[in-house]
Structure 1
Amino acid sequence: MAVQVPPVPQGKNYINGAWQSGDVAASITVRNPADGSVLGEIPNSDAGVVDQAVQAARQAFNNPDWRQLPPMARESLLQRLADLIDQNADELAALESLDNGKPLAFSSTVDVPLSAMWFRYFAGWCSKLSGRQLTPALQPEGSHHVYTRREPVGVVGAIVPWNFPLVLAVWKLAPALAAGCTVVLKPAEQTPYSALRLASLFEEAGFPPGVFNVVLGDGPTTGQAIVDHPGISKISFTGSTAVGKHILHSVADDLKRVTLELGGKSPTIVMPDADMDIAVPGATQAVFVNAGQICFAGTRLFAPRKQFDQVLEGIANVASTFKIGAGLNPETLLGPVVSQKQMDGILGKVDASISQGASLFCGGKRYGDTGYFIEPTILVTEDQTNPAFRDEFFGPVLTATPYDDLDELAAMANDSCYGLAAHIYTQELNTAHLLAAKLEAGTVWVNTQLSPDPNIPFGGFKQSGWGRENSEDVFSHYTETKSVVMKIA
């Protein structure tokens, strides 16, 4: 039985500590992907509204109430925010499942708890970001005092997608705020509600007005206005590779700092010695969790030819046990994709792959007559030019390819414009290390899957992105290094 549907937040922008509709050119309808029903309307905020948010963020950045706040006080605010997320976990999880469609079993145990954990982790960095004392190489010993300062980069424009609306917003907010930046956040227009609820928690936690702002709208209107605004110092974007490339062109004139976490077509490699009791459920989870709407999902499977049918049958059997349904049903394990457009695009790519030679092992169709559900789908191809092998579908679709030659395995796995992640299943430690070294991927998981951690850098090779999220490494993207050279003798 589904849980009670929470009231959705009003579709208003949150700017300078106040809720406002602003002057907008149009509105956007937000729909429930489980049945297509209307959840509400949000503004498609134009450049004028974005300017208000950026001006508020810039004023807050320069205000001593934030700029000169002691690091421990900033840490306390972030810890307080994490506590409020925990206290409102049920509502946040329900909102996340409502407009995104993901199972409540996932949003309540992954999305919301991880969001609180991320804020707590980065809160601890507030008092640990410091410069260094240096000795100049070309000056007499003791003649100069030289040190560096790590200063916040300024106003961050954070643009996040619809697949993990809360978590991916927090991945950007937590380090940016810990570094002392201020933020203008644009959530995806399909999934705005957890970001709006988060804004109210920022207010309750006591953050100064303007430190955190939420502007609603689509990419071409609102997102582009954020990217183009001269008051934005840095763009942090998660989304498609095509949009990431567009952002790079847009910021070329003013050379904004940019972090991009983009698409993927990540391999899952099952070695001949793999423990199938681990590999089969692991490979299944890696591709079908969140209805396959994960940038680092293991969507290309490589299995030994002699064990190929065994592996595919095992994955299909595990997937067949997933209850398909609305995210707010506690029994659901496979929810809908986010929209009619997304569903039609995925099914169109499946059909195109089959028409170009891929074979359908299972699935391949819409599930039910209402909502945007797709059956767990497995395509088989050995043609590395087939769309199933090359294109990111961003849905519950696995492309399986048998292999014979271990020496060619890494080259097959690397035959992609993407390089976000990879999964290896093997019982041989040497095999794991050697293959991990050969794979062109930002993260390689061995005998596990889909396990990001705030203390582990995350990002992609090739066209899967620029820069890294998480860990101490992320602060190179949210701070500038200033060198101070003082002659003392």
Structure 2
Amino acid sequence: MLDMLNKIVANPKRFKNYIAGELRDAQDGSVIERESPAHGAVVSIYPQSSTSDVEAAIEAARQSFDAGEWAFRYGGERATLLSTVAQMIRENVEELALIETLETSKPLTVSSGEILFAASLWDYAAGAARTLHGDSHNNLGPQMMAMILREPIGVVGIIAPWNFPLLILSERLPFALAAGCSVVVKPSEFTSGTSLKLGEYLKAAGLPAGVCNILAGYGDPVGQAILDSDKVDMVAFTGSTGVGRRAIAASAGNIKKLSLELGGKSPSVVFADCDMNAAVDGVLKAANVNMGECCIAGSRLLVEESIADAFNQRLAERLKDLKVGDPFDPASRIGAIINQRQFDQIKSYVAVGIHEGASLVCGGDLTGYEGLFFPPTILADVRPEMRIAQEEIFGPVLTVMTFKDRDEAIKLANSTDYGLAAYIWTNDISNALFCSRHIQAGRVWINSALDGFPELPLGGFKRSGNGRETGRYGIEEYTELKTVHMHMGLQSERWVTDV
């Protein structure tokens, strides 16, 4: 493995933008060098796109959509192309997983699993392309019928985050393409590699030029230009609530449709009658997967008072078996934090929590760790008004609060501005369903954590965003409805009568 890393460092992988059907560098030749968070060495080089690059991408998308070649193509043909891309992703899983592990520091086995799940999303979207349909009304009287057509919304901008690069893009891009849209994609400047590889696959699969354009670059100018452009009809953005607000403000220019998956502060609600071993494992998974850099992370533990001490002790014991280290080590479950800024933010929140009166159960101590590795941390004695109970930390930090009964548990679960996900642990199915109905969240897991399926939609309540991705709702998100009124036979009545 060391020999492989030395080769990569000596010759980092270079990527190109995919614009108007061509693989190309940035027009001015600028590049972004991405260092591996775990190894501190340059592993990827992307084009640093400028305003002229993004304008070219948007124009290519606009022209391709207005020409209608893809927008009106038979759904079965669109499905075939999307299935071809899914197969290419599977055939290149080792290369794609390597890129993601180098750029994100998530364990290699985790990257492989995410790549394969991304392929299944492309397969699902391919099937959805065949089934997308409208409606009709045959009950409007003897001379009237109506059709309700579902049409692609137009040019879609997709601004993707750094934490699940190919996976989150695959929750959006194939569904937009399946609907017949043309697309401009901006991946994160930290993790652009696998998104740019998709450009190669789309070109090889025969996607018409301009239908999909993928370009690397910084949020300003690339992301901002997508948000501001009057030629872009919709933007799908995944990221922080703060940036989501800026997207909403920018959308006012041409009243863009927005699909936003934003921040989260998701609760894991643990009742005394749960299967404790399963709950402990699920809570740790929900809090620490992807180093806690996950918008649906179960970062708040709400545990029934009667089992709180035992449960916290069990959590701390199990964390000893969770290895933090090099993502290429098969034993590692926690890799490095994405960058220094995020690392410092996590460290700062732990200090704030202790200052506010939280007690450190385990973790938080960086002694023995070099670089950007942060140990999983549990903070107990947390009060709902504390910053660590309200604000998204985006790291492997779990805050613990207790409740006396179900009503208090639901109140605590709903006590933040977010509503992206929730996890419920109980053997009482009636209790679980009651909580599912009353907790404000776009997704709820009962006695499981983070299981995902292409058939099921995702999205948030409250300040966690709007719109839904994946499933049949995901493809409908990228469409508009048009009603066609049809009169049959001669018009017997006239609005303007003969004098």
TM-score by length of 2: 0.94
Residues 2 and 134 of structure 1: CA distance in aligned 2, closer, same or farther (over 3 Å): farther
Q: Which of residues 14, 30, 36 in structure 2 aligns to 1:32? A: 36
Inter-partner Cα distance in structure 1 for 2:68 and 2:438: 49
Deviation at 1:45, TM superposition (A): 2.0
Deviation at 1:484, TM superposition (A): 0.9
Answer whether contact 1:105 1:331 (CA < 8 A) is retained: no
Answer whether contact 1:282 1:449 (CA < 8 A) is retained: yes
Inter-partner Cα distance in structure 1 for 2:193 and 2:97: 11
Answer whether contact 1:156 1:181 (CA < 8 A) is retained: yes
Partner of 1:70: 74
Partner of 2:333: 333
Partner of 1:46: 50
Inter-partner Cα distance in structure 2 for 1:273 and 1:348: 35
Letter in 1 for 2:390: R
Partner of 1:243: 243
SS at match of 2:337: coil
Partner of 1:388: 388
Partner of 1:467: 467
RMSD value over aligned CA atoms?
Answer: 1.7
- Deviations, residues 103-161 of structure 1 (Å, cap 9, x unaligned): 1121112x111111001011001121111111465xxx221221011111111100010
Deviation at 1:273, TM superposition (A): 0.3
Residues 374 and 81 of structure 1: CA distance in aligned 2, closer, same or farther (over 3 Å): same
Stretch of structure 1 that moved more, 250-259 or 357-366: 357-366
Partner of 2:118: 115
Answer whether contact 1:104 1:328 (CA < 8 A) is retained: yes
SS at match of 2:235: strand
Answer whether contact 1:183 1:212 (CA < 8 A) is retained: yes
Residues 236 and 24 of structure 1: CA distance in aligned 2, closer, same or farther (over 3 Å): farther
Matched, 1:131 2:149: no
Partner of 2:496: none
Letter in 2 for 1:90: E
- Deviations, residues 199-237 of structure 1 (Å, cap 9, x unaligned): 111122221221221111111321101111111111000
Deviation at 1:369, TM superposition (A): 5.0
Inter-partner Cα distance in structure 2 for 1:103 and 1:487: 62
Partner of 1:295: 295
Answer whether contact 2:15 2:197 (CA < 8 A) is retained: no
Letter in 2 for 1:234: M
- Deviations, residues 82-105 of structure 1 (Å, cap 9, x unaligned): 111111011111111110110112
Answer whether contact 1:3 1:330 (CA < 8 A) is retained: no
SS at match of 2:171: helix
- Deviations, residues 279-299 of structure 1 (Å, cap 9, x unaligned): 010111111111001100100
Residues 31 and 434 of structure 1: CA distance in aligned 2, closer, same or farther (over 3 Å): same
Letter in 1 for 2:371: G
Partner of 1:356: 356
Q: How does 1:396-407 map to 2 (within 5 A)?
A: 396-407=396-407
Matched, 1:14 2:18: yes
Answer whether contact 2:457 2:474 (CA < 8 A) is retained: yes
Partner of 1:284: 284
Partner of 1:59: 63
Partner of 1:189: 189
Partner of 1:306: 306
Letter in 1 for 2:421: A
Inter-partner Cα distance in structure 2 for 1:295 and 1:8: 30
Inter-partner Cα distance in structure 2 for 1:16 and 1:365: 50
SS at match of 2:310: helix
Inter-partner Cα distance in structure 1 for 2:362 and 2:409: 25
Partner of 2:495: none
Inter-partner Cα distance in structure 1 for 2:125 and 2:12: 29
Q: How many aligned residue pairs are there?
A: 485
Q: Which of residues 94, 97, 115 in structure 2 aligns to 1:93? A: 97
Partner of 2:413: 413
Answer whether contact 1:16 1:56 (CA < 8 A) is retained: yes
Q: Which runs of 5+ in 1 are unaligned?
A: none
Deviation at 1:3, TM superposition (A): 8.9
Inter-partner Cα distance in structure 2 for 1:254 and 1:167: 29
Partner of 1:144: 144
Answer whether contact 1:46 1:225 (CA < 8 A) is retained: no
Answer whether contact 2:16 2:23 (CA < 8 A) is retained: yes
Answer whether contact 2:54 2:215 (CA < 8 A) is retained: yes
Q: Which of residues 92, 97, 109 in structure 2 aligns to 1:105? A: 109
SS at match of 2:444: strand
- Deviations, residues 278-325 of structure 1 (Å, cap 9, x unaligned): 101011111111100110010000112221121112222222212212
Inter-partner Cα distance in structure 2 for 1:88 and 1:20: 21
Partner of 1:214: 214
Inter-partner Cα distance in structure 1 for 2:2 and 2:137: 61
Deviation at 1:26, TM superposition (A): 5.6
Inter-partner Cα distance in structure 2 for 1:465 and 1:3: 44
Letter in 2 for 1:18: E
Residues 3 and 98 of structure 1: CA distance in aligned 2, closer, same or farther (over 3 Å): farther
SS at match of 1:252: helix
Inter-partner Cα distance in structure 2 for 1:392 and 1:290: 15
Letter in 1 for 2:406: L
SS at match of 1:298: coil
Letter in 2 for 1:131: G
Residues 461 and 91 of structure 1: CA distance in aligned 2, closer, same or farther (over 3 Å): same
Letter in 1 for 2:132: L
Partner of 2:165: 165
Letter in 2 for 1:274: C
SS at match of 1:184: strand
Answer whether contact 2:17 2:199 (CA < 8 A) is retained: no
Deviation at 1:47, TM superposition (A): 2.0
TM-score by length of 1: 0.95
Partner of 1:365: 365
Answer whether contact 1:44 1:222 (CA < 8 A) is retained: no
Residues 427 and 89 of structure 1: CA distance in aligned 2, closer, same or farther (over 3 Å): same
Deviation at 1:64, TM superposition (A): 4.9
Letter in 2 for 1:77: L
Q: Which runs of 5+ in 2 are unaligned?
A: 490-499
Residues 32 and 455 of structure 1: CA distance in aligned 2, closer, same or farther (over 3 Å): same
Inter-partner Cα distance in structure 1 for 2:131 and 2:462: 32
Inter-partner Cα distance in structure 2 for 1:272 and 1:240: 34
Answer whether contact 1:34 1:371 (CA < 8 A) is retained: yes
Deviation at 1:367, TM superposition (A): 6.3
Partner of 2:175: 175
Inter-partner Cα distance in structure 2 for 1:180 and 1:38: 38
Inter-partner Cα distance in structure 2 for 1:28 and 1:322: 33
Inter-partner Cα distance in structure 1 for 2:434 and 2:231: 46
Inter-partner Cα distance in structure 2 for 1:166 and 1:3: 26
Letter in 1 for 2:136: Q
Which has the higher Rg, Structure 1 or Structure 2?
2
Deviation at 1:67, TM superposition (A): 3.1
Answer whether contact 1:420 1:443 (CA < 8 A) is retained: yes
Inter-partner Cα distance in structure 2 for 1:11 and 1:84: 17
